[in-house]
Amino acid sequence: MCSSKPKVKPVAAAPVVSPVTIDDAAVAERDRERQRQRVRSGRQSTILAGNTGAPPTTSAKTALGQ
């Protein structure tokens, strides 16, 4: 039986993040682009789900005997 303890390697310290200043113009542009993507996805989903003007692909049901 082994009674020795396992050897532990030292762990490197976490990197220090320096504060980064973000330009107001960059923040405004990011927000504008996000809004544009939201509007675009909403419009695209509406167009695909809405009436396309094409006739339906299934035949309409009729009453029996006609």
CA distance linking residue 51 with residue 54, whole number of Å: 8
CA distance linking residue 14 with residue 42, whole number of Å: 42
Q: For residue 37, what are its two tokens?
A: 């993507």
Residue 31 has a pLDDT of 94
If you search the block for the tokens 């030292």, which residue do you land on? 10
Q: For residue 7, what are its two tokens?
A: 């050897």
**pTM, rounded to two decimals:** 0.36
For 18-61, write each residue's pLDDT tens digit: 887 778 899 999 999 999 888 876 655 555 555 555 665 666 66
- Sign of the torsion formed by the C-alpha atoms of 58, 62, 64 and 66: negative
